[in-house]
Copies of this chain bind each other. A is one copy, B any other.
Amino acid sequence: MIYIELSNRQKKIIKIVQENEPITSEQIAKNLNVTRATLRPDLAILTMMGVLDARPKVGYFYSGKSAVNIIAQEVKNIKVKDMMSIPIIVTEESSVYDGIVTLFLEDVGTIFVVSNGSFTGIVSRKDFLKSVMGGADMNKVPIGMIMTRTPNVVTISPEENALVAAIKIIEHEVDSLPVVEKVEEAGKEIVKVIGRISKSNITKLFVELCKE
């Protein structure tokens, strides 16, 4: 893909054609107060780019071809596995207290929970705050009691692209997604958490894409 900035005259030509199609090069030249020869390279490039259609003996038409969305193209090539962070994982049996300590130590908003190595749910700052506010004994209550359990958790596959991840985060109003994959372990199928995609990852990607 190549991006080119149109000159002001090229932009004016597009506007004139849009408003007056079909229009001959003589009419465009008159409208812009220049000669046909001056316009020739501009019309050539606009036609070759597919912005304008030229029909012999009729004139120029606006093709209506809108800007191909280059951003989406680029983002769809970025896979979740190439941008994910390390997941912070605790077991269901861990205490709420240990969970909170982990949350502060790792400075994450959400922790993923496993049981026998298989993903079973997530627990967030909000869940912890609710639990502590409710007067639970932080040292006795296990995380399994306060977590959000699968299948009520939105997950994503490592092979998905960055745009799908961002859409899931927005549509489900979550802060992060566990990146999971099914694997065989000791003859048993388990759901392994291999990463984490958060709004921070998306925001970082956004900054990277925008910086030259």
Contact A68 B5 (CB under 8 A): yes
The closest CB in chain B to the CB of A76 belongs to B210
Q: Which residues of B lie under 8 Å from residue A126 when comparing CB positions? A: 104, 125
Q: Within the assembled complex, what's the spacing in Å between the Cα atoms of A100 and B126?
A: 10
Q: Which residues of B lie under 8 Å from residue A103 when comparing CB positions? A: 129
Contact check: which of B51, B100, B203 meets A199 at CB < 8 Å?
B203
Contact B45 A4 (CB under 8 A): no
Interface size for chain A: under 10, 10 to 19, 20 to 34, or 35 or more residues? Answer: 35 or more
Q: Which residues of B lie under 8 Å from residue A74 when comparing CB positions? A: 71
Is A34 positioned at the interface, with any CB of B under 8 Å from its CB? no
> For window 153-212 of chain A, which residues contact chain B by CB distance below 8 Å?
163, 166-167, 169-170, 175, 198-200, 202-207, 209-212
Count of this chain's copies in the oligomeric assembly: 2
Q: Within the assembled complex, what's the spacing in Å between the Cα atoms of A111 and B198?
A: 21
Is A60 positioned at the interface, with any CB of B under 8 Å from its CB? no
Given contacts A129-B132, A132-B133, contact A204 B1 (CB under 8 A): no
For A18-41 the 0/1 string (1 means CB < 8 A from B) is 000000000000000000000001
Q: Within the assembled complex, what's the spacing in Å between the Cα atoms of A44 and B167?
A: 41
Q: Which residues of B lie under 8 Å from residue A130 when comparing CB positions? A: 104
Q: Which residues of B lie under 8 Å from residue A205 when comparing CB positions? A: 206
Q: Which residues of B lie under 8 Å from residue A210 when comparing CB positions? A: 69, 71-72, 75, 163, 166
**A–B complex contacts, Cβ < 8 Å, 6 sampled:** A2-B49, A4-B68, A45-B49, A70-B71, A109-B175, A202-B202
Q: Beyond A3-B68, A5-B68, A199-B202: 12 further Cβ-contacts under 8 Å?
A: A1-B3, A1-B6, A2-B6, A2-B51, A4-B49, A44-B48, A69-B210, A125-B125, A166-B207, A170-B204, A199-B199, A203-B203
Q: Which A-B residue pairs are the 4 nearest by beta carbons? A: A199-B199, A72-B210, A125-B125, A202-B203
